[in-house]
């Protein structure tokens, strides 16, 4: 830079007068624009196809009809009842399954005897999809809330158990040695090192379990109930209210999406040292 | 206080030359899938109080295993280890350890990492933090007292690990290739820091390294080990003046010491090579 050009000029000279920044900025702006157009484009196309006469409008209603059905759902007051019923099932199932999963995961992760006792059983039960339990759950619990809770707990438990178990096992042995050298008593190792070391894994397991609790909710509400978003979808299907069905699906997607986002925001705070 | 002053010379007289560490006839055996492997074979040595001993040897010679056994993290197959006159069964707070990796608790700030040891020994949070703050100043990390380990460089992390090991005021400090993972420049700075620190703390230090230069720069005495099984080949007394810095490396005495060490290592390397060739 002996000739007195500034760094920016130098870069401009070397790249033949075109800096690379303006190009990448233009590209980024284009991407944002396309991203903003994605949903409206999709909805518009849907509206056009539905009304074009190429498909049966009763089975494939346009977005405007779906929106009207959703508004009616909300206005009638049924939506709030359905939402609360579904949220209650998901939340209690998530909490009960999560707590059980964490406790047993610590137990099997930390104590080899417990692992030998329980892991084979859990590994056999874990791959059975919770939906497959619907028939026997109806036999056991009838149409009660306990049956719904059982299904959600079942789905959440194994995910959280496995991630906690792995998390506890994967705690850096070096940290435990360092803690031992600093006079940490073995009985305090769990609270001082193991739990915090496993926390990132536990949080990942819990986050996966959020979506799983919604999957199992579907099975639970199809198993027979009197309120709930999935229940409403099923009733609407029986009455051929396709707009209501699609509105229900959208509501379920939205609730599940919000739950996942809330949990990931919470998770970031839980693992505070990252 | 008076009592302590009156009694301390007496205790020194009663055991005038008790070594800080006595390793006698120590063997360490590992179970592997090819049967048993002798990691350390009948090793004996003493370390005087306040002495700085380096154990140098090729990787896989059992020097880390030896150190872990002195720390009480591993169990000897046969032989004895006495630290400050009492047998080592398990880790104890008067023996501090710095590992090759810093192994800092990622969820604790620098201050709380260092305060961990004193807290575990029953000190109040205020006391423990005061100890930590003194050590933070000593290792020159005042600006980073509240930082989390993942925001620090490797050298800074290792300084925290050293401060953390010193927080319990150990009589013996064991260091297992603590600078092995650092780049050459940081390593030289860390060696000088350690030499400086060493003049302020009174701990006996056993330092394991595979770097013969590092061993000579730091130590009062270098124990050279051979591999497979680990044995002590030679003891080299390093009579270089203290206070010392890495600049001793340009002195003629240093070079002749290094030559002694290299001769031993070379002869051993040749022997091992011929042996493997013959078999």
B178-215 pLDDT tens trace: 999 889 889 999 999 999 888 888 899 999 999 999 99
- The shortest CB-CB distance from A273 to any of B95, B107, B116 is to B107
In this prediction, residue A9 carries a pLDDT of 61
Q: Which CATH number fits domain B18-91+173-265: 3.40.50.970, 1.10.4080.10, 3.40.50.300, 3.40.50.720?
A: 3.40.50.300
Mean pLDDT of A240-267: 93
CB contact under 8 A, B107 and A272: yes
Best of B70, B96, B106, B172 to mutate (most A CBs within 10 Å, chain A): B106
pLDDT band at A8 (very low <50, low <70, confident <90, very high): low
Residues of A in contact with B106 (CB under 8 A): 273
SS3 B162: helix
In this prediction, residue A1 carries a pLDDT of 41
Residue B8 has pLDDT above 50, yes or no: no
CATH 3.30.390.30 for the A66-270 domain, yes or no: no
State whether residue B210 sits within 8 Å of chain A by CB.
Answer: no
CB contact under 8 A, B120 and A185: yes
d(CA B103, CA B101): 5
Q: Structure tokens of B82?
A: 């006495």
State whether residue B117 sits within 8 Å of chain A by CB.
Answer: yes
Residues of B in contact with A172 (CB under 8 A): 103
Residues of B in contact with A185 (CB under 8 A): 120
In this prediction, residue B3 carries a pLDDT of 36
In this prediction, residue B278 carries a pLDDT of 61
CB contact under 8 A, B105 and A180: no
Chain B nearest CA to A174, separation (Å)? 6
Residue B11 has pLDDT above 80, yes or no: no
Mean pLDDT of B118-145: 95
pLDDT band at A248 (very low <50, low <70, confident <90, very high): very high
- The shortest CB-CB distance from A174 to any of B93, B96, B103 is to B103
Residue B17 has pLDDT above 80, yes or no: no
In this prediction, residue A21 carries a pLDDT of 63
Mean predicted lDDT score pLDDT of chain A: 90
- pLDDT tens per residue, range B106-117: 999 999 999 999
Provide CATH 3.40.50.300 ranges for chain B.
18-91+173-265
Residue B12 has pLDDT above 70, yes or no: no
Residue B61 has pLDDT above 90, yes or no: no
Please classify residue A201 by burial: count the beta carbons closer than 10 Å to its beta carbon, then call 0-12 exposed, 13-18 middle and 19+ buried. Answer: buried
Mean pLDDT of B56-64: 86
Mean pLDDT of B130-134: 96
pLDDT band at A117 (very low <50, low <70, confident <90, very high): very high
In this prediction, residue A214 carries a pLDDT of 94
- The shortest CB-CB distance from B120 to any of A183, A273, A274 is to A183
Residue A108 has pLDDT above 90, yes or no: yes
- pLDDT tens per residue, range A188-223: 999 999 999 999 999 999 999 999 999 999 988 987
Cis peptide before B263 (omega within 30 of 0): no
Mean pLDDT of B242-264: 88
Q: Say how many CB pairs under 8 Å bridge A and B.
A: 62
Closest chain B residue by Cα to residue A193:
B105
- pLDDT tens per residue, range A121-180: 999 999 998 889 989 998 999 888 999 999 999 999 999 999 999 999 999 999 999 999
| Per-residue 3-state assignment (H helix, E strand, C coil) for chain A | CCCCCCHHHHHHHHCCCCCHHHHHHHHHHHHHHHHHHHHHHHHHHHHHHHHCCCCCCCCCCCHHHHHHHHHHHHHCCHHHHHHHHHHHHHHHHHHHHHHHHHHHHHHHHHCHHHHHHHHHHHHHHCCCCHHHHHHHHHHHHCCCHHHHHHHHHHHHHHHHHHHHHHHHHCCCHHHHHHHHHCCCCHHHHHHHHHHHHHHHHHHHHHHHHHHHHHHHHHHHHHCCCCCCHHHHHHHHHHCCCHHHHHHHHHHHHHHHHHHHHHHHHHHHHHCCCC
Mean pLDDT of B59-83: 90
Closest chain A residue by Cα to residue B97:
A181
Q: Evaluate whether ipTM surpasses 0.95.
A: no
């Amino acid at each position: 830079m002996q000739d007195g050009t500034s760094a920016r000029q130098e870069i401009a000279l070397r790249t033949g007068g075109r800096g690379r920044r303006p190009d990448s900025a233009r590209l980024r702006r284009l991407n944002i624009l396309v991203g903003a157009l994605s949903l409206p484009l999709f909805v518009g196309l849907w509206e056009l196809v539905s009304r074009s006469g190429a498909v049966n409008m009763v089975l494939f209603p346009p977005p405007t009809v779906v929106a009207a059905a959703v508004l009616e759902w909300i206005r009638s007051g049924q939506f709030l009842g359905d939402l609360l019923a579904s949220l209650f099932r998901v939340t209690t199932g998530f909490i009960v399954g999560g707590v059980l999963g964490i406790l047993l995961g610590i137990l099997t992760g930390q104590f080899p005897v417990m692992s030998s006792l329980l892991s084979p059983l859990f590994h056999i039960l874990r791959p059975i999809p919770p939906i497959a339990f619907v028939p026997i759950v109806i036999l056991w619990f009838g149409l009660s809330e306990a049956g719904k809770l059982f299904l959600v707990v079942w789905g959440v438990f194994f995910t959280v158990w496995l991630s906690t178990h792995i998390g506890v096992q994967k705690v850096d042995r070096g940290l435990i040695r360092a803690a031992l050298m600093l006079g940490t008593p073995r009985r305090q190792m769990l609270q001082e090192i193991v739990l915090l070391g496993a926390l990132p894994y536990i949080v990942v397991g819990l986050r996966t379990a959020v979506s799983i609790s919604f999957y199992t909710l579907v099975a639970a509400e199809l198993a027979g109930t009197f309120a709930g978003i999935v229940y409403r979808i099923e009733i609407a299907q029986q009455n051929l209210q396709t707009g209501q069905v699609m509105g229900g699906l959208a509501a379920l997607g939205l609730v599940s999406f919000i739950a996942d986002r809330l949990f990931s925001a919470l998770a970031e705070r839980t693992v505070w040292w990252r | 206080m008076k009592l302590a002053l009156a009694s301390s010379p007496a205790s020194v007289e009663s055991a005038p030359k008790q070594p800080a560490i006595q390793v006698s006839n120590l063997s360490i055996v590992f179970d592997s899938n090819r049967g048993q492997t002798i990691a350390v074979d009948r090793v004996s040595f003493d370390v005087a109080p306040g002495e700085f001993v380096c154990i140098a040897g090729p990787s896989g010679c059992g020097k880390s295993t030896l150190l872990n056994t002195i720390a009480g993290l591993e169990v000897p197959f046969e032989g004895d280890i006495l630290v400050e006159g009492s047998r080592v069964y398990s880790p104890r707070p008067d023996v501090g350890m710095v590992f090759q990796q810093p192994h800092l608790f990622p969820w604790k700030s620098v201050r709380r990492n260092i305060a961990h040891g004193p807290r575990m020994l029953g000190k109040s949070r205020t006391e423990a933090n005061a100890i930590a703050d003194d050590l933070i100043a000593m290792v020159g990390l005042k600006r980073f007292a509240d930082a989390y380990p993942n925001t620090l460089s490797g050298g800074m992390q290792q300084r925290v690990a050293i401060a953390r090991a010193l927080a319990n005021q150990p009589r013996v400090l064991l260091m297992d290739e603590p600078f092995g993972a650092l780049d050459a420049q940081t390593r030289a700075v860390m060696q000088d820091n350690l030499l400086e620190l060493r003049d302020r703390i009174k701990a006996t230090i056993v330092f394991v390294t595979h770097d013969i230069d590092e061993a000579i720069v730091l130590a009062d005495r270098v124990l050279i080990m051979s591999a497979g099984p680990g044995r002590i080949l030679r003891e080299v007394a390093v009579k270089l003046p203290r206070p010392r810095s890495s600049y001793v490396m340009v002195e003629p005495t240093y070079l002749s010491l290094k030559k002694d060490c290299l001769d031993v290592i070379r002869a051993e390397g040749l022997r091992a090579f011929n042996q493997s060739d013959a078999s």
